[in-house]
Amino acid sequence: MSRSHSHPVSHCSAADKLSYRPRLADLEGRVTGSTFVLEQPRCIFDKYNTAEIWLVVATRAGMGDFNDSAQPGMPEWSFQRFPANTSAYLTLGAMQYHYRCLEPNRELTVLRVGSETSCADNASVPNCNGPLPSPGPYWVKFLALNDSESIATTQWSGPITLRTARAIPSSPGTGSGRSGAMIAITAILSVLLAILLAAFLAMLCSSEACGVGSFRPDSASIHRYNTHHVYDQSAARL
């Protein structure tokens, strides 16, 4: 929240201008698509014991249009007409004692703006804390009212922009991201299979299965044995 907007109050000069600036709480859900979470304004309104503290939510135009004499029940500052027909609305009204000072070590206390979905379309609840219809940006401030007369107001907060959802990411193409391990496995196994097939063929061809054949000197020659001792015996008889 870097920019400061201090618009001088145009009508009611009796309202105190406090220096507190509302801020977002430090939680995961601080800003969602239609809600945001503020820190409670503890110890700020201690002087104003009988006051009712209201939250004013406005667009940029609403910061100038809103005057502190607004009443919570007025239809021109109702949630249902925001932001099309009105540029600000009042909500989250509470008695001052809800925001009294706590010891410093107490837990964070928060206000969630936009949490009531049931009354969002119900014009009879003009102060509905309904979900915000667009991403914003919005400015907020707290207003202390005593018998419908504003007695104190804080500064406007910095711009609060809600989250806009992006389109679903497309998954990366199937050709991307080949890891080195996969390439190594494929390459090495292919080479090993090729070597095995080559060795298998060589093995088959080294026996007589292949047409080429291999020449063993023993098989081609034919040996003749002269059985001369048979001849001698027959010659001896004659």
List, in order, residues 6 or more apart from 52 with CB less than 8 Å away: 72, 93, 94, 95, 96, 144, 145, 146
Q: By CB under 8 A, is residue 200 in contact with other proteins? A: yes
Tell which one of 2, 28, 226, 236 touches other proteins (CB under 8 A).
Answer: 28
Mode of pairing for the β-strands spanning 36-39 and 110-113? antiparallel
Mode of pairing for the β-strands spanning 52-58 and 16-17? unpaired
Identify the burial level of 191 via C-beta atoms within 10 angstroms of its C-beta, where 0-12 means exposed, 13-18 middle and 19 or more buried: exposed
Phi and psi dihedrals of 37, rounded to 5? -120, 125
Q: By CB under 8 A, is residue 23 in contact with other proteins? A: no
Number of neighbouring beta carbons within 10 Å of residue 192: 10
Tell which one of 203, 210, 213, 231 touches other proteins (CB under 8 A).
Answer: 203
Tell which one of 13, 19, 105, 179 touches other proteins (CB under 8 A).
Answer: 179
Q: By CB under 8 A, is residue 196 in contact with other proteins? A: yes
Choices 11-19, 84-92, 97-105, 201-209; region in contact with other proteins by CB under 8 A: 201-209
Least distance CB 132 / other proteins (angstroms): 9
Q: By CB under 8 A, is residue 4 in contact with other proteins? A: no
Chain contacts with other proteins (rule: CB under 8 A) = 25, 27-30, 32-35, 37, 110, 112, 114-117, 130-131, 163, 165-172, 174, 177-179, 181-182, 185-186, 188-190, 192-193, 195-197, 199-200, 203, 206-207
